[in-house]
Chains A and B, each alone.
Chain A
């Protein structure tokens, strides 16, 4: 990538600090962009290998959790000759400090990219909303 060659392009594995997983497979942190406009918080995450049927998004209190299950498919139980990236699910949580209109959340998955529209409640639109890593 020409943007910043010093940027580490490797996948980052999730840590146990986020709670141990029930599935035995590995999990990775999806690379995520988060933007905020006056109307909504827009989150996009790279989850290659998962489609809309394999993504769970939960918002409990103010914790947003993304869980994308990736099917190893043909490579299941096959030993790779040479491996640069790990195979596993994508999982990540964020703490939202603003009020989100839960009924109007929209999620789309296309080409392995999750786009999540989190509209603000009318009351929150007038206030500043900050997003922190969970």
Chain B
């Protein structure tokens, strides 16, 4: 077995956590954005991840079971729009309502903490693997 397989898997996990964090940051930053290039308000985005087989030199039983993670897609919810009455807003319609992104800051904060904890978990897994490798080198001393 080799430690670099574990490092590879942990690395993809960290990349996925970073992607989630980026999307949460984007959602939070645009929580009240009313204009986008596609027209209409900003739409809440979500990251979808997929398991991917990892190349490893383990024996086949475990090699088939090991999966790294990859970012499948970033989807946006087309219906995540809420109407707010604000006739003074430059983007308000004829009836005085503005289309605002339906982003719940609390939900986004919860997602942020989840992503951040998942990243920390990957770092811990990495550290344990490294400690195992270093312990192996102490064998026979």
A and B assemble together = no
- Give me the interface of B with A, judged by CB distance under 8 Å: none
- Give me the interface of A with B, judged by CB distance under 8 Å: none
